[in-house]
């Protein structure tokens, strides 16, 4: 569940970015996995969702929201659940260094390109 204590509050200006999302009007099923979805089906669905994120004008705001609110489910700001978890925790399930997506530029998704950077557990 989203940590509601981390949400920005009811001010419309804090949520207005959502009105400009490329995902508006798309099926939420594309961004949130059905129970039990695994493997190639999940990878294909996430890739389709991320393709929409890649052309979104508010990918930065979306990614920042997902990380700060610790959104547990779905593709947000071009990042999957596991990608956000790796960024938030700064470690992997196995331990040791692993390549995790890190936004290029100064803010999350600012130029919608990601490169790999090691995360040390």
Residue 23, phi then psi, degrees to nearest 5 = -80, -15
Annotated binding site for [4Fe-4S] cluster: 23, 53, 56, 62
Q: Which two tokens stand for residue 45?
A: 């669905």
CB 81 within 8 A of CB 49: no
CB 110 within 8 A of CB 102: no
Annotated binding site: 23, 53, 56, 62
Q: What is the DSSP letter of 71?
A: -
């Amino acid at each position: 569940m989203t940590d509601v204590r981390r949400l920005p509050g009811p001010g419309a200006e804090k949520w207005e970015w959502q009105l400009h999302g490329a995902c508006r009007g798309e099926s939420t099923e594309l961004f949130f996995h059905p129970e039990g979805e695994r493997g190639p089906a999940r990878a294909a669905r996430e890739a389709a969702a991320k393709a929409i994120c890649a052309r979104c004008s508010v990918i930065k705001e979306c990614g920042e929201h997902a990380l700060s609110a610790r959104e547990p489910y779905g593709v947000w700001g071009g990042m999957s659940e596991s990608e956000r978890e790796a960024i938030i925790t700064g470690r992997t399930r196995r331990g040791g260094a692993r390549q995790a997506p890190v936004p290029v530029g100064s803010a999350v998704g600012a130029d919608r390109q990601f490169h790999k950077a090691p995360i040390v557990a």
